[in-house]
Amino acid sequence: MFKGIFGERVFKAATLATLIFFVLFFTGIIISIIFYTNPGEVLKILFSAEVLFAIKLSLITATITAVISIIIGIPAAYAISKTEFRGKSVVDTILDLPIVVSPIALGAALLVFFNTPAGIAIEEHGIKFVFVVSGIILAQFTVVSALFIRLMKSSFDSINPRYEDVARTLGCSKFQAFFKVTLPLAKNGIISAGILTWARAIGEFGATVTLAGATAMKTETLPIAIFLSLATADVEKAMTVILILVCIAMIALIAIRKAVGRGWLI
């Protein structure tokens, strides 16, 4: 339809226009939140006991969730990436379910599980998860672990298996080749996936509120603090907590860029 230099300019202008639209759209949302809030009131809310509790609880639970996801997710992602077995496509599909299924649905499923004989036994003789802090970690893990595995699978897929084969010919066992060759090559992927998983865990709401509940100063993470604030029509407080989440997300994204060797302006 459009050919030559003119066609290239039209194409470039069209793609840049869509990019500018998305940037302005999301920037406009953030700016509207900033202008809605009063700086003095923001500081007062920020250093209130309830918001500080929500920040602390979110950081602790998300960090624990991210660590567990990394420990379990790395071998799981390696297995789905490098191992061929019957039913692999089914397993691959199951791993995608927590990503596409609503977090509220996952939380409801967890709540139903802990009302089964097996779940009741875990609650009575093991660790309690329903309406307690450990439930927050379980809910976050259920939602974000699949994200970590999917991201790590992409990293392992990009690593040529010949590197491990060479290590094996030099006398390394499979275990040694994995730790000395594959993991170092996947370092950037691990860091990026870990940070994204951590940030996603901080923002998790649906499964958390369903399984752990929304009790102020007990199971109140930052997203639940927003929910409770809106429920009591405290919009100023809700906007302040949203700004905190936005700042955390920005820090996480900048950290990823720095971790993989990319500058802020690159």
Task: Quick: pLDDT tens for 78-137.
Answer: 999 998 889 899 998 998 899 999 999 999 999 999 999 999 999 998 899 999 999 999
Claim to verify: residue 21 and residue 126 sit in the same structural domain: no
Q: Residues with Cβ < 8 Å from 262, sequence gap 6 or more? A: none
Weakly modelled stretches of the chain, pLDDT under 70: 1-4, 261-266
By the 8 A CB rule, do 73 and 148 touch?
yes
pLDDT computed for residue 74 by the predictor: 96
Is 152 in the same domain as 87?
yes
Number of domains in the chain: 2
> What is the number of helices (H) and of strands (E) in the chain?
14, 0
Residue 159 phi, psi (nearest 5): -95, 125
pLDDT computed for residue 263 by the predictor: 44
Residue 93 located in a structural domain? yes
Indicate whether 218 belongs to any domain.
yes
Residue 264 belongs to some domain of the structure? no
Q: Are residues 44 and 23 in the same domain?
A: no
Kindly state whether residue 14 falls inside one of the protein's structural domains: yes
Residues 151 and 168 in one domain: yes
Query: Given this model, what pLDDT does residue 195 score?
Result: 94
pLDDT given at position 38:
86
**Residue range(s) defining the domain that contains residue 22:** 1-36
Let me know whether 5 and 103 are in one domain: no
Is 266 among the domain residues? no
